[in-house]
Amino acid sequence: MNKPVHQIRIGRIRAAIWANQTDSGLWHNVTFERTYRDGEAWKSSDSYGRDDLLVLAKLADMAHSWIINVRSDAAN
């Protein structure tokens, strides 16, 4: 299984950045995940509540910046 090329976490929300090599070049995708505890077990979800949305937006911004920097470094 492939692993993300980079991860960013704020609290219980994580952004995972994935690299995909295609015939058109390198592309990045981002997935988001929120972890929570259900009794003794840790679980994850891709559903977000009101209080998660600003953190999610910040992580999206940080992931975007990371991808832009990687692409800029690759072009130089």
- Domains in the chain: boundaries: 6-75
* pTM, full prediction: 0.88
Question: Which of 37, 4, 64, 5 is closest to 45 using CA atoms?
Answer: 37
State residue 75's pLDDT score. Answer: 74
**pLDDT single digits (tens) 21-68:** 999 889 999 999 999 999 999 999 999 999 999 999 999 999 999 999
The pLDDT score that the predictor gives to residue 46 is 94
User: CA-to-CA distance for 19 and 29, rounded, in angstroms?
Assistant: 7
Write down the residue that tokens 């975007």 correspond to.
Answer: 64
H-helix or E-strand spanning residue 28: strand 25-38
**Regarding beta strands 41-45 and 25-38, do their DSSP bridges make them parallel or antiparallel, or are they unpaired?**
antiparallel
